[in-house]
Amino acid sequence: MTDDNTNLPDNPDIPDTPDNLDVDKLDERVLDPGNLDAEHHALELEFREYLDSDNEEKVRELALDLSPGDLSEVLRPLSVEETTTILKLLPPDELADVLSEIDNRSLSVLFELLDVDEIADLIEEMPSDDGADVIAELDQDQAAEVLAAMDEEERSEVAELLQYAPETAGGLMGKEYTTCTEKQTAAEAVAALRGLEEGDLEETHFVYVVDNRGRLTGRVPLYRLVISGSDQLVSELMEADPLYVEVDLDQEEVASFARMHDLISVPVVDHQMRLVGRITADDVLDVMEEEATEDISHLAGVSVTEFGEQSSFRVARSRLPWLLGALVGQLGAVAVLNHFEASLEARVTLVIYIPMIMAMAGNIGIQNSSVVVRGLATGEIDFFHLGRHLLRELGTACMVGVSIAVAMAAVSMMFSGDPSISLVLGLTMLLVVLFAALAGAGIPLLLHRFGVDPAVATGPFITTANDVVSMLIYVGLATQMLNLGSGG
């Protein structure tokens, strides 16, 4: 295969390059994908050097040399003041592209330094979905002022998107799409495409076909328009009954739908099947990252807002409620130990195994809950196959539990040489592993069934529940099997 196309015949049906296509975009610096972290760090140091020497021209040249995505990553470790200094040196169109990528912390500070008209001009340069997201970050009065300062067309698009809940298909979609009817020709569809701005054209993969009421009936891939005759009807080229989502579908379901069907662009319809927007693959990737961040934050017992946060005080403030909640939960384990204090005093040897039991219960619970949360997020596990999944986990827990129980009994024999204590520890570990496995798998499934985010069942919650129950099993068995008094 060769890149030489000089011998290709002229095709009058293939449109010329649009006049508004910016070929200079191809000159952006291409970073090594296998060494991105090092290159981003080197660029960060280069920016700091220019900023320290007040060399604004070099800062501007370097910023314009990078793609919006790379620049946003390089800016991430910089202070808000440094980030703002760099962004203010960019022309409006490049700045609008970068604003779609940077964190809200830098965005809010930048907007404090701009007047309403400047903010409105920037948002007009952005895709409608990104513009709506930025407006949503402003306070109510400032948002109203910015909307009033925008051109009517862009204002109506952004205002429409703001009506939808942010974590739905409507809140995720953009208004940059092209439509035609079945009776139009390929040449007419291409003419509609030629009227698009460059930024809109870059993310256009289909021309959507609608009826006279605006209802979605099909789509035409761009390649078909390119290779077809100019007088060929759209009805002959279109793919009928395309996949779509409704405006109120949750964004996580949208991402799962797009991933399942390998969709690069997803049309969005209202409840009357009228086409109202489209979601592109980059938006789907953002949702997947956002949902993964949310799940990981719940799994770790931290706040989503602390990812990217640089203030130790704010991070500590976001973590403290979770940890205080876990501390309160651990009082249950303390109450169990206090109730059986006499049993533990009678056999002090029992105390030395408590950390091993609690740690094992926590590990088993976190393992199982992590698998279930991930399975629910990807659609591999659902409530209607709950029995099959729990049976699998029960079988796994039995095999793991027996192995750990035997190992624990053997270890206790080496340390204490008391068969009765070894038997108690072996049975305890078996029961604890079974409970931790079922709790780790079952609780997220039940929460998911009742519409609660299953990730909240992990972290401190699962660990605390396992600690309390494992201590109850351990000292309860020891009291009964070793004929110890429970005290109280």
Q: Which tokens go with 108?
A: 């809010």
CB 459 within 8 A of CB 298: yes
Q: Cβ neighbours of residue 268 under 8 Å, at least 6 residues apart?
A: 169, 170, 173, 244, 245, 246, 247, 275, 276, 277, 278, 279
Whole-angstrom Cα distance, residue 67 to residue 309? 24
Q: What average pLDDT does this structure show over 412-432?
A: 87
- Identify which has the larger pLDDT, 110 or 275: 275
DSSP strand pairing (275-280 vs 245-246): unpaired
CATH architecture for the domain at 23-167? Alpha Horseshoe (1.25)
Q: What is the pTM of this model?
A: 0.61
Q: Using pLDDT thresholds of 50, 70 and 90, give the confidence band for residue 20.
A: very low
CATH topology of domain 178-300: CBS-domain (3.10.580)
Helix locations, 175-311, DSSP H: 186-194, 198-202, 222-227, 234-237, 251-260, 281-300
DSSP 28-78: SPPP-GGGHHHHHHHHHHHHHHHHHTT-HHHHHHHHHTS-HHHHHHHHTTS
Tens-digit pLDDT profile for residues 384-415 = 666 777 788 788 888 988 998 899 889 888 88
Q: Which tokens go with 255?
A: 């991402």
Supply the pLDDT for residue 3. 42
- Identify which has the larger pLDDT, 283 or 3: 283
- Identify which has the larger pLDDT, 244 or 397: 244
CB 161 within 8 A of CB 173: yes
Whole-angstrom Cα distance, residue 228 to residue 208? 17
DSSP 459-478: THHHHHHHHHHHHHHHHHHH
Ranges for all domains in the chain classified under CATH 3.10.580.10: 178-300
Percent of the chain whose pLDDT exceeds 70: 78
User: Given a cut of 90, is residue 376 above it in pLDDT?
Assistant: no
Q: Using pLDDT thresholds of 50, 70 and 90, give the confidence band for residue 2.
A: very low
Q: Which tokens go with 45?
A: 């140091």
CATH entry 3.30.930.10 includes domain 304-481: no
User: Given a cut of 90, is residue 6 above it in pLDDT?
Assistant: no
CB burial of residue 120 (10 Å; 0-12, 13-18, 19+): buried
- Identify which has the larger pLDDT, 470 or 8: 470
Tens-digit pLDDT profile for residues 304-356 = 554 454 556 665 665 566 556 666 766 776 777 677 666 666 566 778 788 88
Percent of the chain whose pLDDT exceeds 90: 27
Ranges for all domains in the chain classified under CATH 1.10.357.20: 304-481
Supply the pLDDT for residue 488. 45
- Identify which has the larger pLDDT, 291 or 236: 236
Nearest to 274 by CA among 346, 170, 200: 170
Tens-digit pLDDT profile for residues 87-125 = 889 888 888 888 877 766 667 767 777 788 888 888 888
User: Given a cut of 60, is residue 303 above it in pLDDT?
Assistant: no
Tens-digit pLDDT profile for residues 249-265 = 999 899 989 988 999 99
Ranges for all domains in the chain classified under CATH 1.25.60.10: 23-167
CB 333 within 8 A of CB 472: no
Whole-angstrom Cα distance, residue 126 to residue 154? 10
- Identify which has the larger pLDDT, 460 or 319: 460
Q: Which tokens go with 409?
A: 């009994």
Supply the pLDDT for residue 484. 59
Whole-angstrom Cα distance, residue 96 to residue 143? 17
CB 250 within 8 A of CB 229: no
Tens-digit pLDDT profile for residues 182-220 = 999 999 999 888 877 776 677 788 999 999 999 999 999
User: Given a cut of 70, is residue 128 above it in pLDDT?
Assistant: yes
- Identify which has the larger pLDDT, 432 or 456: 432
Whole-angstrom Cα distance, residue 317 to residue 197? 45
User: Given a cut of 90, is residue 60 above it in pLDDT?
Assistant: yes
